[in-house]
Structure 1
Amino acid sequence: MRMNPLLLKPEKDTQSQVVLMGQVNAELSRMEWRSRSLSVWPVVAQALDELLAENDVVVIEGAGSPAEINLKSCDIVNMRVALHANAACLLVTDIDRGGAFAHLYGTWAMLDKAEQQLIKGFVLNKFRGDATLLAPGPQMLQDLTGVPTVATLPMWWQHGLPEEDGVFDMAPTFGTGVSSLPPEGAELARGGPSLRSRPPVIAVIAYPRISNLDEFQPLKNVPGVRLKWVRSPSELAGLGEADWIILPGSKATNADLAWLRAQGLDQAIAFHAGRGGAVLGICGGLQMLGEALIDPHGIDGNGPGLGLLPVVTVFDEAKTVQHRQAAFSTLRGLWAGLSDIEVQGYEIHHGQTAPHSAMAAAGDIAYPVMPEGLAWQNGAGNVLGLYLHGMFEDPRVLQALFGAATPTLDSVFDGLADYIGQHFEPGVLQSLIA
């Protein structure tokens, strides 16, 4: 929590939920947004001081521009943090968007003198072409500011990092892993459908208030897997016959469920599941799959679910926020490859989910496939819902589901470190750390 002590979860275009040190703070959420910084800064500063005391190097990532003059008085995520830590700062621009030198100079010029003194280097990111053609721009910029350009980073497609701020599709994307398509006759999982004729297709429903979407990046890195964000039935139909449909987490489950129905995606998902297609719901997605959402405390709203799992979710006042390690029990159908695998992840949700008692009495049973209500499977075996985020970051899960060696985020970060080492001026980062 100290790594990200303050989290804003957008619930509407003009309203955000404030999460401070992992806990929802209703008072701060109601507060006028410019007034929050005075209340939250002491907590942010304490978390930063503790990390600085415990570690030799702390890397601090800003958010947005550090020089937005309309936000400067209440900005606590950029230069105020840098000044507090007396940090050596690099100012990075996206040259692919154009106007990079103007962006760097304009940002530097709008900083206070004390803030300008913290800027030790400029970085040009996403450059395409011959870097020598940039001259004499970097030297002219240094003459104006006294700050050198310390790196020009080439455009790197399909690097394997999750997108930072939202879903992103240049085109239907195939994974960029360490091997090619699965061998002839391979299956998506033990007992799953054959992949002989084409690569597996995974559709992730991209509702407006989607959350924790970076956990699906490992799927995009799986060799031969096609992952597509879907916002309408026509986009889903355009994929042909998807092997999976995933309902991800949501910052506002009932609102996103209403959006899903307005698009007609509820019927498309039900049709897919009715034909035996695989459906996976994670956290808010699990809650949507059930029969009903019950909200006695006004947390998220009451409403009917999609009816694909015979479970009911009741929202609690308290929010569950914790790391978890748990093992799947025996699963059936496409998910059978996950049986007995222990996975690590995290929970961050309101509400508890349990079987629908009347449906269970009538023989429509939700099968618990993880302890303590963490995961449920339907009787047919094609619909699975779980509360645990981060499952796809476990190489054992990807191996069990796809039968292929798959790049992990650790290997992606190692590759990024090598890339940075290649393109920064020699010794720059070491000198800043020293």
Structure 2
Amino acid sequence: MVQGTTSDAGKSIVVTALCRILARHGISVAPFKPQNMALNSAVTTEGGEIGRAQAVQAEACYLPASVEMNPVLLKPNSDIGAQVILNGKAIGNMKATEYHNFKPQLLTEVVKSHGQLQQKYSAVIVEGAGSPAEINLREHDIANMGFAEAIDCPVIIVADIDRGGVFAHLLGTYELLSDSEKARVKGFVINRFRGDVSLLEPGLDWLEEKTGVPVLCVIPYVTNLHIEAEDAVNQQQKSNGEQQLKVVVPLYPRASNHTDFDVLRMHPQVDCEFLRDPQQFSGADLIVLPGSKNVRGDLNWLQENGWDKIIQRHLRFGGKLIGICGGYQMLGEWIHDPEQIESTAGSSAALGILPMETTLTGDKMLRNVQGVLCGSDTPVTGYEIHAGISNGEALNNPLFELQVEGSTHTDGVRDPGDQVMGTYLHGVFDQPELLTEWLNWAGLNQQQSFDYPAFREAQINRLADEVEAVMPLESILTLLSLGRGRGSEQGGEKA
């Protein structure tokens, strides 16, 4: 199990690296995270919902994503509450205190899911959440040491040296563990180190002397590495001076699945910027409204902060606009939530750009789909994660024609003026052919070809190369109690 001294210490990155290292050496491996809190999610082959990071880790294992890999997913819809996803399906909204009291019931579920993976794969690499040293969350813990104790697995602890204070993070975390928890810590990993590692060695020796725990490796800072984020938005912008198209994504408080736009951020000719403050908006060729976990609340935030006026002016000046999922719902005239699916019961006047309205419902749509862009043979694949049904005149001009369980289904809207598009599909920018067509529509001519799926795969291999250079396969197998050659894709002894 990979735990961290803080959020964003590198747990997801290390798990992704270990999964790819083992998989490309022919060892059958799967990722697992007992409890995840994130607004980035993915749809599995079973039609369930898991954290996006576990879907990326499954990709690193050359596996399709499965609900077994992340049995509990929390999707915050307020500062004190979240929607609870159990085994891929939403079971309701809970406030933090209510969920804390519910966790003992979930421990059985997460242990069961982990056991199912153990029966199928020779190695399971578990990712913790936050830090095991969060004293206020120790009782009923299912995400860190509580889970490790329940399944009796070894633990490594990761810290990000680029943040500063790495020895305080590691020593402090270790000292806040119980004796039995300390006993299962087999090593520390220092992540994102810049410089000559020999200058760090006195500190490594000091840490091992204090704790008796070795530093297994020091992972170098990998410049310009792109691995899809678990939840935090990476707002670092490219500055190579080659961008020709400006894209702005308003970042409202409960924006979800912002990894939809990673392909735009990585495209060499696109300057994609996430903006919270409308006063920083200085024009764009394309504005994209992302998904939302609280669509009426985020709509209200847009309107209170003046983004609605910016969007209207952008359209008057000839700019293009796309809404994805919750952002698509905001383009209509009304959003209704009679059953309190995401917030208090009621209706909100939306942006009024498209003649349609949406009613939120208790049945969440979760599915992977494929089809074509209407009026062409341009293929599209994506996934739906939404609670809501949209109706109205706008839907007479659909965006996509999809094949769903043997029947034809349309999705989205392309307005008659060809200035606004909306869709429920996530991941639509990832396909090179469709991306080229849409960027051309938004004003980018003479495009360079950019295959984002191939780029993403190369980045996973690049990460694995860097980690394997400092943590050789034999070290990983020792931690897993696996010997070389054991546990091929065809089976073998389980660890």
TM-score class, shorter-chain normalisation, is 0.7 to 0.9
TM-score, normalized by length of structure 1?
0.85
- For 1:287 and 1:373, how far apart are their aligned partners in 2? 16
Deviation at 1:142, TM superposition (A): 1.4
CA 206–116 in structure 1, closer or farther in 2 if over 3 Å, else same? same
Give the structure 1 partner of residue 101 of structure 2. Answer: 35
Q: Per the alignment, in what secondary structure is the counterpart of residue 132 of structure 1?
A: helix
Deviation at 1:81, TM superposition (A): 2.4
Give the structure 2 partner of residue 195 of structure 1. Answer: none
Q: 2:338 aligns with which of 296, 311, 329?
A: 296
- For 2:309 and 2:347, how far apart are their aligned partners in 1? 20
Tell me the amino acid that sits aligned with residue 69 of structure 2.
M
Tell me the amino acid that sits aligned with residue 271 of structure 1.
R
Deviation at 1:42, TM superposition (A): 1.8
- For 1:217 and 1:230, how far apart are their aligned partners in 2? 15
Conserved? CA contact 1:344–1:391, under 8 Å: yes
Q: Per the alignment, in what secondary structure is the counterpart of residue 299 of structure 2?
A: helix
- For 1:224 and 1:39, how far apart are their aligned partners in 2? 50
Query: Which segment drifts farther, 414-423 or 160-169?
Result: 160-169
Deviation at 1:208, TM superposition (A): 0.4
Q: Per the alignment, in what secondary structure is the counterpart of residue 307 of structure 1?
A: coil
Q: Per the alignment, in what secondary structure is the counterpart of residue 63 of structure 1?
A: coil
Conserved? CA contact 2:399–2:423, under 8 Å: no
- For 2:452 and 2:151, how far apart are their aligned partners in 1? 35
Deviation at 1:340, TM superposition (A): 2.5
Kindly report structure 1 stretches of 4+ aligned residues shifted beyond 4 Å: 27-31
Give the structure 1 partner of residue 296 of structure 2. Answer: 254
Deviation at 1:253, TM superposition (A): 0.2
Tell me the amino acid that sits aligned with residue 285 of structure 2.
D
Q: Percent identity?
A: 36
CA 174–200 in structure 1, closer or farther in 2 if over 3 Å, else same? farther
Give the structure 2 partner of residue 144 of structure 1. Answer: 210
Q: Per the alignment, in what secondary structure is the counterpart of residue 387 of structure 2?
A: strand
Give the structure 2 partner of residue 418 of structure 1. Answer: 465
TM-score, normalized by length of structure 2?
0.75
Which segments of 5 or more consecutive residues in structure 1 lack a partner in the other structure?
A: 182-197, 331-338
Q: After superposition, give the CA deviation of every residue in 1:217-269 in whole Å (9 maximum; x if it has no partner).
A: 222111132111012332222xxx31211100001000000000011001111
Query: Which segment drifts farther, 299-308 or 248-257?
Result: 299-308
Q: After superposition, give the CA deviation of every residue in 1:312-342 in whole Å (9 maximum; x if it has no partner).
A: 2122221112222232222xxxxxxxx4333
Tell me the amino acid that sits aligned with residue 369 of structure 1.
F
**1:428 aligned onto 2:494:** no
Q: Per the alignment, in what secondary structure is the counterpart of residue 16 of structure 1?
A: strand
Q: After superposition, give the CA deviation of every residue in 1:129-179 in whole Å (9 maximum; x if it has no partner).
A: 221111211112112222211211222232112333322324x4258xxxx
Which segments of 5 or more consecutive residues in structure 2 lack a partner in the other structure?
A: 1-66, 403-408, 440-446, 483-495
Q: Per the alignment, in what secondary structure is the counterpart of residue 73 of structure 1?
A: coil
Tell me the amino acid that sits aligned with residue 317 of structure 1.
G
Give the structure 2 partner of residue 375 of structure 1. Answer: 412
Deviation at 1:210, TM superposition (A): 0.7
CA 124–15 in structure 1, closer or farther in 2 if over 3 Å, else same? same
Q: How many residues align?
A: 396
**1:128 aligned onto 2:194:** yes
C-alpha RMSD over aligned residues: 2.3
Conserved? CA contact 1:22–1:321, under 8 Å: no
Q: 1:344 aligns with which of 381, 406, 410?
A: 381
Query: Which segment drifts farther, 94-103 or 289-298?
Result: 289-298
- For 1:398 and 1:82, how far apart are their aligned partners in 2? 43
Tell me the amino acid that sits aligned with residue 413 of structure 1.
I
Give the structure 2 partner of residue 385 of structure 1. Answer: 422
Q: After superposition, give the CA deviation of every residue in 1:275-329 in whole Å (9 maximum; x if it has no partner).
A: 3311111110110011211233232441122122222212222111222223222
Q: After superposition, give the CA deviation of every residue in 1:87-140 in whole Å (9 maximum; x if it has no partner).
A: 332211011222211211221222223322322221111222221111211112
- For 2:435 and 2:93, how far apart are their aligned partners in 1? 41
Question: Which structure's relative contact order is higher, taking Cα pairs within 8 Å and 6+ residues apart?
Answer: 2
**1:102 aligned onto 2:102:** no
- For 2:432 and 2:153, how far apart are their aligned partners in 1? 36
Conserved? CA contact 1:9–1:17, under 8 Å: yes
CA 80–92 in structure 1, closer or farther in 2 if over 3 Å, else same? same
- For 1:305 and 1:390, how far apart are their aligned partners in 2? 24
Give the structure 1 partner of residue 250 of structure 2. Answer: 205
- For 1:27 and 1:131, how far apart are their aligned partners in 2? 47
Give the structure 1 partner of residue 238 of structure 2. Answer: 173
- For 2:363 and 2:206, how far apart are their aligned partners in 1? 56
Conserved? CA contact 2:398–2:410, under 8 Å: no
Tell me the amino acid that sits aligned with residue 116 of structure 1.
K
Give the structure 2 partner of residue 60 of structure 1. Answer: 126
Conserved? CA contact 1:310–1:378, under 8 Å: no
Give the structure 2 partner of residue 192 of structure 1. Answer: none
Conserved? CA contact 1:367–1:379, under 8 Å: no
